[in-house]
Amino acid sequence: MARSAIVVGSGAGGSVAAWALTRAGWDVLILEKGRHLLPGLGTASGPRTLFGNDEVKAGRYFENQDIVLEPRTSRTQDEAKKGTAHSFVGDVNTLPTVVGGGTVHWDAKTPRFWKQDFTMLSDHGPVPNANVADWPLGYKDLAPFYDEVEKRLGVQGDIHKMPANTLKQAPRKKQFPMPPNPPMYGGSLLAEGASRLGYHAYPFPMAVNSREYAGRPRCNSCGFCSGYGCPIQARGGAAVSFLHDALLAGARLKPRAFVYKVSTNAKGTRVTGVSYVDENGGTHHANADVVILALSAIETARLLLMSRTSKFPNGLANRSDMVGRNLMFHFFTAAIAVFAEGVHAWRGPSTTFTIDDFVGPDKGPAITAAGLPYVKGGICEVGASTLLLEEAQSYAAIPNTWGLPHKELMRLSPARSHFAALNMVGEDLPQVNNRVDLDPSTKDVYGFPVPRITYSSHNHELVASAYYGPKLAAICSAAPGAIAGTFLPLFLLNTVGGSVASFTQTRHVFGTGRMGHDPKTSVTDAWGRAHDLDNLYLADGSVFATSGGFNPSLTIMALSLRMARKLAGKH
Amino acid sequence: MEIARRTFLKSAGALGLLALIPQRALSSVFATAPGPGQAGRFLNAHELDTLRAVCARFIPGPPEDPDPGAVEAMVPEAIDMLLGAFTFKPPLIHAGGPFSDRNRHGHDDFSDFVPLDRHAELGWRIRIEGTKGIKAREFAGPVVGLQQIYRSGLAHLDARAAPATFVDLPAPLQEAILADLTDGDVQTFVGAALANTFEAMYGPPEYGGNKGLAGWKYTNWPGDVQPRGYTNAQVSKPDPGSPSLSTASAKAIEKFLPALGGRAAPRDAWWLGRASIVRR
């Protein structure tokens, strides 16, 4: 018998679930609050794209969440203690609001989580003032779904160049579906610098076509990659790799459908459907056997909190009081190598190398002295720089640098042509007081309270940034031809431009509906099913118990596929 | 959709009375751009002349600098077209895609501007016109639109130049006013105008600026390269003859490193948002 599902959000988690359930014969309705910018998606002619090599459009909220219409607010934990409602209104970690979600312009980096990520609490004990938890599943539970998602996305990489420890932590039986892209020059120099210091850089697994794959062409390294929709569909993602086939198989998609409530039966034991607003302000209701929330961690938590009922006075599925809590962002620590020669580190798919040597956990006297049992960093994105307009904007951050000095800087072009950056995707520890709730005063264009983000770094992140940063800078200095190497520590990146708002510089969001065995301390079970409601599922970064040091989208997709297969009875 | 658009235009007041220009006529609009002493699509003749003086200070051209600057690249006229974006149909906000014709694709998709849907149009009306006390726009508080920022900002420059006008001041005095960090009104204007100047100078020429690819040529920037892209050798090998950066220059640019951390865009000053190098 056909069953029905409503999937809220058409990004990484939602599209994968919609695809798997539609193929299993389910009736699937996908509600997406963003716009549809991929004409032909879900038709025999295949998706076309309106994206181009256009920095202006990328900065004009074409696919990004329009922060004038849908702002967010933020404050620090200290400000929260003082009773400050919020100290910033604007772009707080927004993700694309568009059919296909974040993967429409993602960097498409697809590292797997490691075995150790799922058992940090058991293996290493608690961290003071943090809420580290084990996951209710392990690497081996996810491995077959990693394999399947990678094959469908079209992930490039080379198993023979991966470090032994990486393969031990994230074992894979087979070679990647396709070989790596041509290595970027600046990244190659940093890789050589890493090698000189005994570290190991290798081709970054990514959902970018190095050859024609699934009817899409090979990447031609145009350089407008992370943050830009691909003009030639050479990058895999939720829309082109999953949603397209889901729609062909009969799933229905409604763009510009803003879901504001998940409704339940009178007893509060099951969800019955959702209410949403269309583009013209009309309200609608849709029912289904199952509701899957994949709005991304901040918006999923917000919707649950907005859907409170008399049975769930603190928000739907929130008897644990963990909805919205344990919000995690990756913190990035960037090191910069400066080269005398031009290294055109903007040419290519953002970066083509990664380094795993700083994933951690690392221990030692300095870390113990800081009151921490360990520090963790993460993988490094090796060898990126900026495009032209971004470069101009960066220099202008220093007051009164317009005029002839501006022209001279743009001609010399240090940031664009002579820098190659090494960005560590650092693990962020969960804290109960880092959270999403509903802003008391600020409303969005639909008239609903916007998400308020309360966030402060744990000492762990500050110490980890200071611990790994100099090692990254040393790699930069050791690169052939480098004339300088320096690093930008977390506290610096965080203080430029204000308090918590600077965390928007990381677009990786987790933890607001964590999975776990215990309904008292977690929101969902190991399948993403809400402990409190039989037929409500979470399928995005919200379910992550810890953030790992790895780009999250592949793991979001693998978790979603595992959940959908369980729902469809095939697991 | 059409009904909705008309409703929006009515609420836009005088702008709705102007003839909307279809996109295919864009090239003729560029060719007949207002000259000195002529009014633009939003700015009056004096305001546009004042903006030209400002842009010439932001990105100077000959004779101060050998390469064309913002005025030569028609940046002020492009900013005026942004302020009057809703006199075009579709509005000049989002260029089309995927390809321009600069790599012999056969058609310039960029010049086919993407129509805004109702939601996106509201966002851009608020950005350009401001919330103006309209209830449907003030759900999250007031936003001063770019039109108002330019109108009052340019008037304020004249007030600072009194009894002269800003355009009549010698360049060093104009720069002294623009550089006055103690004058919040000046700096609000400079923040917005500099952001718009960069967009028009370094963005695709379909937005009206970057004339003759002036912004791309002097910076040695290839611009949009699709559908050609780069060869494996161009990606993996050094460019022959690329200019060298001295160690002294490398030292001098260290003060810009913190700026690479980026900045989150506030709702009421969204143009101040800046991408971070770690975003990539």
| pLDDT for res B118 | 94
Instruction: Verify whether the Cβ–Cβ distance B140 to A443 is below 8 Å.
Output: yes
Is 50 exceeded by the pLDDT of residue A195? yes
Distance CA A117, CA A218 (A): 33
What is the identity of the amino acid at A353?
A: F
- Measured between beta carbons, the chain A residues lying within 8 angstroms of B215 are 388
Mark A467-480 as b/e (b = at least 16 C-beta within 10 Å): bbbebbbbbbbbbe
Instruction: Verify whether the Cβ–Cβ distance B278 to A334 is below 8 Å.
Output: yes
* Assigned token pair, B55: 């842009």
* Assigned token pair, B231: 């060869």
- Measured between beta carbons, the chain B residues lying within 8 angstroms of A423 are 277-278, 280
Please tell me if residue A117 touches chain B, with a CB cutoff of 8 Å: no
Instruction: Verify whether the Cβ–Cβ distance A339 to B245 is below 8 Å.
Output: yes
pLDDT band at B262 (very low <50, low <70, confident <90, very high): confident
- Which residues are CB-contacts of A365 (< 8 A; sequence separation ≥ 6)? none
The helix/strand/coil state of A442 is strand
* Assigned token pair, A185: 């020059």
pLDDT band at A4 (very low <50, low <70, confident <90, very high): very high
Distance CA A214, CA A208 (A): 12
pLDDT band at A15 (very low <50, low <70, confident <90, very high): very high
pLDDT band at B7 (very low <50, low <70, confident <90, very high): very low
Write B50-54 long-range contacts (CB < 8 A, 24+).
B50/B154, B50/B157, B50/B158, B50/B165, B50/B166, B50/B167, B51/B76, B51/B79, B51/B80, B51/B150, B51/B154, B51/B193, B52/B76, B52/B167, B53/B166, B53/B167, B53/B174, B54/B154, B54/B157, B54/B166, B54/B174, B54/B178, B54/B193
Residues A18 and A28 sit within 8 Å (Cβ to Cβ): yes
E strands in A198-352: 201-203, 252-254, 258-264, 271-277, 283-287, 290-293, 328-329, 331-339
Interface test with B, best of A386, A389, A416 (most B CBs within 10 A): A389
pLDDT band at A489 (very low <50, low <70, confident <90, very high): low
| φ, ψ of residue A286 in degrees (nearest 5) | -135, 140
- Measured between beta carbons, the chain A residues lying within 8 angstroms of B238 are 185, 341-343
- Measured between beta carbons, the chain B residues lying within 8 angstroms of A89 are 140-141, 266-268
- Measured between beta carbons, the chain B residues lying within 8 angstroms of A442 are 140-141
Beta bridge partners of A449: A443
| pLDDT for res B5 | 34
Instruction: Verify whether the Cβ–Cβ distance A414 to B140 is below 8 Å.
Output: no
Please tell me if residue A223 touches chain B, with a CB cutoff of 8 Å: yes
| pLDDT for res B261 | 75
Mean pLDDT of A537-562: 98
- How are beta strands A252-254 and A27-31 bridged, if at all? parallel
Please tell me if residue A35 touches chain B, with a CB cutoff of 8 Å: yes
Cα Rg of chain B, angstroms: 20
| pLDDT for res A550 | 97
Instruction: Verify whether the Cβ–Cβ distance B268 to A67 is below 8 Å.
Output: no
Please tell me if residue A222 touches chain B, with a CB cutoff of 8 Å: yes
| pLDDT for res B241 | 83
| pLDDT for res A323 | 98
Residues A499 and A407 sit within 8 Å (Cβ to Cβ): no
A231, A395, A484: residue with CB nearest B226: A231
Mean pLDDT of B80-91: 96
The helix/strand/coil state of A419 is strand
Is 50 exceeded by the pLDDT of residue A271? yes
Give the full edge-to-edge strand order of the sheet including A72-75. A88-90, A72-75, A449-454, A435-443
Instruction: Verify whether the Cβ–Cβ distance A340 to B253 is below 8 Å.
Output: no
Higher confidence at residue A150 or residue A501?
A: A150
Nearest CA in chain A to B248: A483
- Measured between beta carbons, the chain B residues lying within 8 angstroms of A379 are none
Residues A53 and B224 sit within 8 Å (Cβ to Cβ): yes
Instruction: Verify whether the Cβ–Cβ distance A71 to B140 is below 8 Å.
Output: yes
| pLDDT for res B25 | 59
Q: What is the pLDDT of residues B134-181, one digit of tens each?
A: 999 999 999 999 999 999 999 999 999 999 999 999 999 999 999 999
Higher confidence at residue A394 or residue B145?
A: B145
Beta bridge partners of A27: A4
Nearest CA in chain A to B280: A226
Distance CA A406, CA A396 (A): 8
For chain B, what is the mean pLDDT? Answer: 89
Give, as one character, the DSSP assignment of residue A375: B
- Which residues are CB-contacts of B198 (< 8 A; sequence separation ≥ 6)? A389, A392, A393, A396
Instruction: Verify whether the Cβ–Cβ distance B202 to A414 is below 8 Å.
Output: no
pLDDT band at B104 (very low <50, low <70, confident <90, very high): confident
Cα atoms in the 13 Å half-sphere on the side-chain side of A196 = 15
* Assigned token pair, A307: 């859907």
Nearest CA in chain A to B263: A497
* CA A511 centroid distance within chain: 12
B119, B203, B254: residue with CB nearest A256: B119
Distance CA A150, CA A140 (A): 16
3-state percent helix, strand, coil for chain B, nearest multiple of 5: 55, 5, 40
B220, B255, B261: residue with CB nearest A505: B261
Q: What is the pLDDT of residues B217-242, one digit of tens each?
A: 999 999 999 999 999 999 999 998 88
- Measured between beta carbons, the chain B residues lying within 8 angstroms of A224 are 224
